[in-house]
Amino acid sequence: MPRPNGRPGSEPLHSHDIFGGSQLYLDTASAEQCKQWESNLAEAYQALQARGLNLDITRGKPSSEQLSLSDALDGILNNNYRAADGTDTRNYGGLDGLPEARQLGSLLMDVPAEAVLVGGNSSLTLMFQAALVAYYFGYAGAESAWQNHGTVKFICPVPGYDRHFTVTETFGIEMVTVPMTATGPDMDAVESLVKSDPAIRGMWNVPRFSNPTGVVYSDETVKRIAALGKVAHPSFRVFWDNAYAVHQLTDDAPALANIYDYCRELGTEDSVLQFASTSKITHAGAGVAFMAASPKNLAAFKKMLSASTIGPDKENQLRHCKFIPDGAALKALMDKHAALLKPRFETVLSKLEEAFADSDLGSWEKPQGGYFVSFDARPGCAHEIVRLAAEAGVKLTPAGATFPYGKDPENRNIRIAPSVPTVNEIATAMDVFVVCVKLASVRKKLGK
Ligand SMILES: Cc1ncc(COP(=O)(O)O)c(C=O)c1O
């Protein structure tokens, strides 16, 4: 029979039949039952290994098909390098960014254009630089620099984005974890830390379609984070990384409350630094990044920036503004991304549902946007699941990667990134994943 997409090893498996159905409750299973399951699963696993698969669901990046949606960027200037205000974008200067590019940032972050600074191709770089300013130079003069005040700690909702944790680790900042819930970080824990520990100087956030859980912070969570500036140390800064601000899979995906508006109401504008980029809108390696901040924060940031550059790549800013001239163009482009991503997410979620809905083997959120599905296995199983999957030809993000210092204390979280493989490849990879979760869980229960 021809393979569905002509690629080797991409036809789905039906491993869940091993249990005569999908029910699997380890907490109540007898030792005898577990031994039988283990033997069936080991057999299924060996059959999978024999297929010589080579699949990868680790990469949180756009597929080539998605990148191609923005290929019109190339050549769009057609030798016209002038911005709307006459700026020759080929030349030096323009530390704030072109006015129309600040407008694009304003569209993404729902803040006034005057609050936006346009950077280079990476919001992560802006976040690193924002931490650099806070750590060495201070947003309110040299005395306010974090380095002057002993131990510096950051609140890290977990599971979270590994590169955020690498930024704080690079500065020697101590990371204090709080659990992510379905409505955002556990705010009781966050508030209690901020009130009780003056060494807390910052907090990471991915507020819409969080990396990796996919949750959208509730209005109440956003409001409570905006209010932290009232009780925190004056040099405390919320890092609000809105990387997936417009990356919904469906039109009815939950909206995110506007933290800028709440901060304005509460007088806490200085406590929040916002970030976004077009990395997962246009070309991930050649996009445009944005930061939004209060006038005081922007002034301090630009002082650092002007010592390190004469200005950003304004040609690319102009290309992006021509390619995405308004909200309607942005929506149309994001709808095309969603059309490519949605079936991939649906495949992951339906495989998880089919295998684990009626079990005590794991839990997960159902993201309505973003790039990830986060799976919590039974405690102590994540490393073994990832190892088993790798040996069956399916590469998963290393267990622990979603926690500071790469250490998941419960060894249970696994991040699944379905954007790059085809739907058939994802289906096969998920079938392998399911067998590995079951096998690792049963073996753990048996003490193997
Ligand atoms: C939450 C989050 N922030 C930032 C980034 C990177 O953004 P950029 O390409 O703008 O540096 C990613 C990429 O995966 C991400 O998941």
pLDDT in tens, 260-315: 999 999 999 999 999 999 999 999 999 999 999 999 999 999 999 999 999 999 99
pLDDT over threshold 80, residue 409: yes
- pLDDT band at residue 3 under the 50/70/90 scheme: very low
The alpha carbon dihedral of 134, 140, 142, 148 has a sign of negative
* Closest residue by CA, ligand 1 atom 2: 243
What pLDDT sits at residue 24?
85
User: Domain extents for the chain?
Assistant: 15-66+332-446, 91-325
Q: Tokens 């297929």 correspond to what residue? A: 51
Selection from 132, 182, 178, 133 nearest residue 159 by Cα:
178
- C-beta separation of 261 from 274 below 8 A: no
- pLDDT tens figures, 378-397: 999 999 999 999 999 999 99
* Closest residue by CA, ligand 1 atom 3: 243
126 touches ligand 1 (CB under 6 Å): no
161 touches ligand 1 (CB under 6 Å): yes
Whole-number Å distance, alpha carbon 288 to ligand 1 midpoint, is 12
Q: What is the CATH number of domain 91-325?
A: 3.40.640.10
Whole-number Å distance, alpha carbon 448 to ligand 1 midpoint, is 39
Phi, psi (rounded to 5 degrees) for 253:
-60, 145
- pLDDT band at residue 5 under the 50/70/90 scheme: very low
Q: Which atom of ligand 1 is nearest to the CA of 244?
A: 1
What pLDDT sits at residue 448?
83
pLDDT over threshold 50, residue 9: no
Tell me the CATH architecture of domain 15-66+332-446: Alpha-Beta Complex (3.90)
Selection from 270, 244, 239, 57 nearest residue 157 by Cα:
239
Whole-number Å distance, alpha carbon 322 to ligand 1 midpoint, is 23
Pocket test for ligand 1, best of 241, 273, 282, 373 (most atoms within 8 A of CB): 241
370 touches ligand 1 (CB under 6 Å): no
What pLDDT sits at residue 59?
86
Pocket test for ligand 1, best of 109, 123, 374 (most atoms within 8 A of CB): 123
Q: Which atom of ligand 1 is nearest to the CA of 210?
A: 1
